[in-house]
Structure 1
């Protein structure tokens, strides 16, 4: 199952001892699926506020990623090898719902998002966070009322969100995922399939130094592709159309990376930071419910990904929704993510795919702590 060398603690983001796993390559797992859920009477009890009382010394940092589909917050303290997460929040808000068709954020989506952001604001205040960076991405960039929405958030919630450009988003995604780059690799393709866009970053590693040699952001994500083709009824024909729609958007970057390599070999491995990749990994591992400690840092091979994609494609919408690693809120988006992922694998074939349940938020935290000279330090 999970290689012994990988940290299994969900709360701590450390430098990963991955040399042994790189040599071993992708891990094999049994293929049988079970969508059985935890019985209601066995649900994990909620921790009370007193149980979650702050027990860390030193400064706390906050990172918020407001995307097209999700609102996510991490609060962390510097810790050994990186940082330790002390609180987290994630909610599907679908801020970008309909933006690809109307060009505007809807009032319903704004209401859902402001509700989630109030929770984030309360957490940042309760923990007395010393420094934070709050980022809004593609949905706000696309929408003509995106700036007005951020002004409203500042006035009503008290959070000052930054509308990050695509270059910043790509850099932060790499900063968050780069600890999972195999130390033996010389070139890696990092990708982040978001709700409204997909970022692709070509990473060169020379003498242990990582450098982004090329990057791109394409205007296609799970929400925009699903809205264009429909995400409920997806058969072979619809899935093929999804793939064909994103293919030309990647061709120029594919040619660019081939020129960098003088037409030679592709990446040593792929590194995916998106919800699509973590979802497919969770299903492949046959998890009874999603477990970050089992997924983050896991290796897959191309056959693993292809098998799960074909299995999901053969299912009905209801069957996909019953998967504990997908759920009702994401069932209409998962096949759009698979279509984008399949095109990435077609253009940059690799039998070695690493899964990262980390990304923009972790990149924000690492960047701020490094600027302050406290990254990896204990109080």
Structure 2
């Protein structure tokens, strides 16, 4: 979709206006099981930093809303979660208006895909905020993640595993060169999306006090879910430069812990390489923290302190099933993928080769 519906007041929202080529202000909203994230940007035709970003960020917003809280037990989005999310979406709408957004895509993922009352929820969002939320399927989510992170892939690798550990689902994307063009760019070759996420793991196993036995059980649970895809990919070609590419709060938190940051710093984390040993040490360091230490950590905080070890368990299972000497960390993904596709459609940035 190009733009959300107009607000119920009858006014025309600025993101429904037309603009000349190169003059659009773009917005992408990702409403997940745990987070509500907005990114507003203009095209950047001359990328200046590592990772070749073609986006010049105008504004951003992120709030933990826990939309999927209790969903695994009840099958419905709860009233408290709806109210938290509506308040966050009102902030997003106001930011879009104040920044003069003219092109937008607003999507919801696993929590809305799995909830029996998702249509009721999106209708309430539309009535209260004027925002028209699109519930995307798993394949579209995987495609956006791959597009958003693609600039961080080692171009000399023959294949890469991209993973996105979310609140209610985990996406795995196999990027590889086409047999028809073995010297060409890496492209999406295969993918899977699993109902396995940090919120669902925390609700099933607990997240505040995580013993070695509980962490082992979470890792085994994740391993069982990931194994079918790992078997399917076991015969795919790899080379010495094969690596993992991770995008999510789990891996960016691990990167912050590895760097010893007092406060999270996106510019130091995005594009960071972790060796396998460094990744293992960061996981071990996080596991050694009790709940209070996680709450106090500037890269975790109180809203994610009970979720991060579930993400580490999924990451450990991925590292076991897809051995690689290094992992690249991406503080980018779904929103960036949406923005780039919108900009490409307008001719504002070159299409990916």
Structures share fold, TM-score greater than 0.5: yes
Aligned pairs, number: 319
Q: Please list, as runs of the form range in 1=range in 2, the aligned pairs for 1:311-330 lying within 5 A after superposition.
A: 311-330=285-304
1:310 aligns with 2:310: no
Please give the per-residue CA displacement for 1:9-67, whole angstroms capped at 9, x wherever unaligned: xxxxxxxxxxxxxxxxxxxxxxxxxxxxxxxxxxxxxxxxxxxxxxxx82101000000
2:267 is equivalent to residue 257 of structure 1: no
Q: Which one of 158, 161, 166 corresponds to residue 194 of structure 1?
A: 166
Task: Assess, with a 3 A threshold, how the Cα gap between structure 1 residues 267 and 163 changes in structure 2: closer, same or farther.
Answer: farther
1:114 maps to 2:90: no
What is residue 29 of structure 2 aligned with on the other side? Answer: 64
Counterpart mapping for 1:233-248 below 5 A: 233-248=209-224
The equivalent of 1:365 in structure 2 is 339
Q: For residue 69 of structure 2, what is the aligned residue in structure 1?
A: 97
Name the TM-score, length of structure 2 as normaliser.
0.88
Question: Which protein has greater RCO, CA pairs closer than 8 Å, 6+ apart?
Answer: 1
Tell me the residue number matched to 1:88.
60
Kindly report structure 1 stretches of 4+ aligned residues shifted beyond 3 Å.
Answer: 264-267
Give the gaps of 5 or more residues in structure 1.
1-56
2:155–2:185: 8 Å Cα contact kept in structure 1?
no
The equivalent of 1:299 in structure 2 is 273
Q: Is there any run of 5+ residues in structure 2 with no aligned partner, and where?
A: 1-21, 48-53
Of 338-347 and 116-125, the range deviating more from structure 2: 116-125
Match of 1:133 in 2: 105
1:47-58 map, 5 Å:
58=23
Give, in whole Å, the separation in 2 of the partners of 1:140 and 1:190. 23
Q: What is the CA–CA distance in structure 2 between the aligned matches of 1:208 and 1:75, rounded to whole Å?
A: 31
Report the counterpart of residue 335 of structure 1 in structure 2.
309
- 1:356 correspondence with 2:330: yes
RMSD: 1.4
TM-score (norm: length of structure 1): 0.82
Asked whether 1:157 is paired with 2:125, we answer: no
Whether the 8 Å contact between 2:159 and 2:186 is mirrored in structure 1 is: no
| Cα offset, 1:186, TM superposition | 1.0
Q: Distance in 2 between matches of 1:267 and 1:171?
A: 23
CA contact (8 A) 2:86 2:125 kept: yes
